[in-house]
Amino acid sequence: MNLKSVVVSVVIGVFGAAPAIAVPALDEGSAREAMRRALAPWAGEAAGPGAIIQVSHEGEPIIVEMTGYADLEHAAPITEETRFHVASVSKQFTAYAIVRLASEGLIDLDASLAAYIPEAGVYRDVTVRDLLAHTHAIRDAMSLVGASGFRAEDVVTNAHALGLILRQGAMNAPPGEAFAYNNSGFILLAEVVERVSGLSLSDYCRGLIFEPLGMDDTVYVDSLATVIPNRAQSYAWTGEGYGRAPFNYALTGSTGLTTTGRDLAIWAAHLDRLAEAEPAFYAAFHTLGVLNDGARTTYAYGQERRVYRGLETWSHGGRDAGYRAFLLRVPSEHLSVSVLSNAADFDIAQTTYAVLDALLDIRLPDDSVVTTTPSPQQLAAYEGDYALFPGLIFSLRAQEGTLGFAVLGQEGVTTLLALSDHEFELNPVTDLTIVFDPEENGSAEGFGYRIGLLGVLPASRIELEPFDPESVDMEDFAGTFYSAELNAVYDLVVEDGRLFARQPAAGTIALSPYQSDVFNSSNNYFQNVAFVRDGLGRVTGFHLSGALMVDVVFERLS
């Protein structure tokens, strides 16, 4: 049986019409009001980007609100036909394709990645399942792309990103040690789909998902030359108005999907129906990641599981350039909520859950907690320095019944608002919160850096040695350095007593010493530079680290 006939047999058996299910008791008026409040800043006469918010039941829209322009230059308003790039919401479609191939016996989820991509020998201990669950510890593709010398204006393709991933000589850590959300795994999964099926991810998903389900406005865009009718453009606030936010990715797998709220509703309803139509497949697709120590993560394959006000929910957000997207499913209610925007400052997750709260508040339990204030002993336990990524270090100090927050190398201290005895609000606008383990005794080993309802990044306690920046001889580090892993050359130069890294595309990056032979910067792919010396004390190279990218090797050329 060829692959096409396999796909046809699957869709005939699974994608049939489902019996109608009664709409649960919903407060549609309150939900519509919550939508309008969220959209209010983008409404009115001022021309700007905007968003569309949709509540659907069994794949049918029941409440839709929208405002703003899809294309400012042509004054084209956002409508239900507007198609948005949904960034990382794409991952669940990639995961679905992989799990479908596995259910047909064409992929073994527990096999080594190298079984499907032989040139990925450095990742021989990484399984396909690790890629799906973000437990693989491969360096992140977007940091590799940035560090290799690409700008936001440059075109990035799967071939380019994959080439960088396969050039790496090492990983961030052994696979399975921790959950670390990362784009590289899903770029590799797109390649696995192509090598196993003989079709691009775009073509495979069109035949497997989009055409059978009637998702007529959905496509994986793998070329910037592709013309997408009714596509929203990407915008960000410039300080004086909205301007174009460069969007030059032609990546698929980790991102790349363009769709509408209407099509996302069809997709959400299909996933819900699988629970009865194909329980084994449904369970496989909703498998939570498992670490080496047996602990389960909250992330399955392209979706995060969260119990919210007593309801099991599955969700994922996406952020690329000025595009913002969020899809939330509540399987027990056969409900989905989607938010699609082309404004970089639109809060997608908070809006989605606010709509869900308004919809179901009349019959769900109150999940609010009694707030408590931190004791002096707790504040003392929280004090310290923590690394979110190498070189990105947060310093916390007790002050006036709460914590002061500072970033190493940057001026200013932010006084955090204590939300409870273990939660501290850093930024109410972007909903950033620092969360400690309330059960931890003694000095905190780390905290969660919670990005609203989009997820949590772990920050670990570090111990900084006493250090005097004035003792550093900057000339020791001046020279030309090359990385075979990035195929990139950087010149390190000293000007006015400061060290800078220069590369034609990356520009000039200011480096600041904070430990012996260790520098950091505010650049997220050049955050930490740890220099290496030979037996005579001469600098022979450095290890570069950034967001989800650890110890890329550079060697000194001159």
- pLDDT tens string 122-157: 999 999 999 999 999 999 999 999 999 987 778 899
% the chain with pLDDT above 70: 93
Burial of 524 (0-12, 13-18, 19+ CB in 10 A): middle
pLDDT at residue 395 greater than cutoff 50: yes
Equal fold, 18-137+172-360 vs 471-556: no
> What rounded mean pLDDT belongs to the chain?
92
Angle between helices 261-277 and 3-14 (to 10 degrees): 80
Query: Which numeric CATH code is attached to 471-556?
Result: 2.40.128.50
What mean pLDDT is predicted for residues 4-17? 38
Asked whether residue 456 carries a pLDDT value surpassing 90, the answer given is no
Give the pLDDT confidence score for residue 47 in this predicted structure: 75
Query: pLDDT at position 125, please?
Result: 98
Helix (H, G, I), strand (E, B) or coil at 95: helix
Please give the CATH topology (third level) of the domain spanning 376-462. Lipocalin (2.40.128)
For residue 471, CA distances in Å to 60, 501, 514, 515, 518 come to 67, 20, 11, 11, 13
Helix locations, 278-414, DSSP H: 279-285, 348-360, 376-382
Q: How confident is the model at residue 45 (pLDDT cuts 50, 70, 90)?
A: low
Residue boundaries of the structural domains of the chain: 18-137+172-360, 376-462, 471-556
Look at residue 506 in the predicted model and tell me its pLDDT. Answer: 86
> What is the pLDDT at residue 151?
79
Q: How confident is the model at residue 374 (pLDDT cuts 50, 70, 90)?
A: very high
CATH (residue range 18-137+172-360): 3.40.710.10
Among 8-22, 179-193, 425-439, which stretch is predicted with the lowest mean pLDDT?
8-22
- Encoded tokens for 112: 């080594």
Residue where the block lists tokens 């209407």? 262
What pLDDT score does 12 carry?
33
Residue 2: predicted pLDDT: 39
pLDDT at 150: 86
pLDDT in tens, 457-482: 899 999 999 999 999 999 999 999 99
Q: Name the pLDDT band for 56 (thresholds 50, 70, 90).
A: very high
The pLDDT tens digits for 93-110 are: 999 999 999 999 999 999
Q: Per the structure block, which two tokens stand in for 372?
A: 């408590």
Cβ atoms 65, 358 nearer than 8 A: no
pLDDT of res. 380:
95
What are the tens digits of pLDDT across the range 202-223?
Answer: 999 999 999 999 999 999 999 9
Token pair recorded at residue 530: 């740890």
Q: Is the pLDDT reported for residue 3 higher than 90?
A: no
